[in-house]
Amino acid sequence: MGKEIKFSLVYRDMWQSSGKYQPRLDQLVKIAPLIIEMGCFARVETNGGAFEQVNLLYGENPNKAVRAFTKPFNEAGIQTHMLDRGLNALRMYPVPADVRRLMYKVKKAQGVDITRIFCGLNDVRNIIPSIKYANEAGMIPQATLCITFSPVHTVEYYSGIADQLIGAGAPEICLKDMAGIGRPVFLGKLVKSIKEKHPDIIIQYHGHSGPGLSMASILEVCKNGADIIDVGMEPMAWGKVHPDVISVQAMLKDAGFDVPEINMNAYMKARSMTQSFIDDFLGYFMDETNKYTSSLLLGCGLPGGMMGSMMADLKGVHSGINMILRGKGEPELTIDDLLVRLFDEVAYVWPKLGYPPLVTPFSQYVKNVALMNVMSLVKGEPRWSMIDNNTWGMILGKSGKLPGKLAPEIIQLAKDKGLEFTTDDPQKYYPDQLDQYRKEMDENGWDYGQDDEELFELAMHDRQYRDYKSGVAKQRFESDLQKAKEAKMAKQGFSAEDILKMKRAKYTPIEAPVRGQVIWEIDVVDPSTAPVVGKEYKQGDHFCYITTLWGEHQEVLANFDGRITEVCAQQGDRVMKGDVLAYIEKKD
Looking at residue 527, its pLDDT comes to: 43
Give me the mean pLDDT over the 422-450 stretch: 96
* Confidence (pTM): 0.83
Q: What amino acid is encoded at 208 in this protein?
A: H
Question: Is 127 strand, coil or helix?
Answer: helix
How much is the average pLDDT of 462-482?
88
Name 160's Cβ contacts closer than 8 Å, sequence gap at least 6.
none
The CATH number of the domain covering residues in 507-586: 2.40.50.100
Q: Give the other-Cβ count within 10 Å of 172's Cβ.
A: 20
CATH architecture of 6-283: Alpha-Beta Barrel (3.20)
Structure confidence by residue, pLDDT tens digits, 477-535: 887 887 888 887 787 787 877 777 777 777 888 889 999 999 886 554 444 455 667 77
Q: What residues have CB less than 8 Å from 491, skipping those under 6 apart?
A: none
DSSP 8-class letter at 94: -
**Structure confidence by residue, pLDDT tens digits, 365-414:** 898 899 889 888 888 889 998 898 889 999 999 999 999 999 999 999 99
DSSP 569: S
- Partners of 231 in beta bridges: 9
Rounded Cα distance between 365 and 349, Å, is: 11
pLDDT over 70 (residue 18): yes
Distance, in Å, from the CA atom of 57 to the CA atom of 474, rounded to the nearest integer, reads 7
Mean pLDDT of the chain: 90
Phi, psi (degrees; rounded to nearest 5) at 521: 50, 50
Percent above pLDDT 90 for the chain: 61
Q: Do 124 and 166 meet the contact criterion of CB atoms below 8 Å apart?
A: no
386, exposed or middle or buried, with CB in 10 Å at 0-12, 13-18, 19+? middle
Asked if 259 and 229 count as a contact pair (C-beta separation under 8 A), the reply is: no
| Poorest-pLDDT segment among 46-60, 144-158, 406-420 | 46-60
Look at the chain and count its residues: 588
Three-state secondary structure call for residue 45:
strand
CB 94 within 8 A of CB 127: no
The answer to whether residues 11 and 263 touch, using CB atoms and an 8 Å cutoff, is: no
Q: Which of 118, 97, 110 is nearest to 138 (CA)?
A: 110
Residue 362 pLDDT class (50, 70, 90 cuts): confident
Helix, strand, coil share of the chain (percent; to 5): 50, 15, 35
pLDDT at 309 (0 to 100): 62
- CA of 425: how far to CAs of 276, 316, 362, in Å? 47, 37, 18
**Beta pairing, strands 553-557 & 79-84:** unpaired
Query: Prior bond to 171 cis, omega within 30?
Result: no
Domain segments of the chain as ranges: 6-283, 434-470, 507-586
Query: What pLDDT is recorded for position 93?
Result: 87
Among 72-76, 253-257, 475-479, 503-507, name the one with the lowest average pLDDT.
503-507
- Which tens digits make up the pLDDT trace of 529-559? 556 677 788 888 888 889 988 888 888 888 7
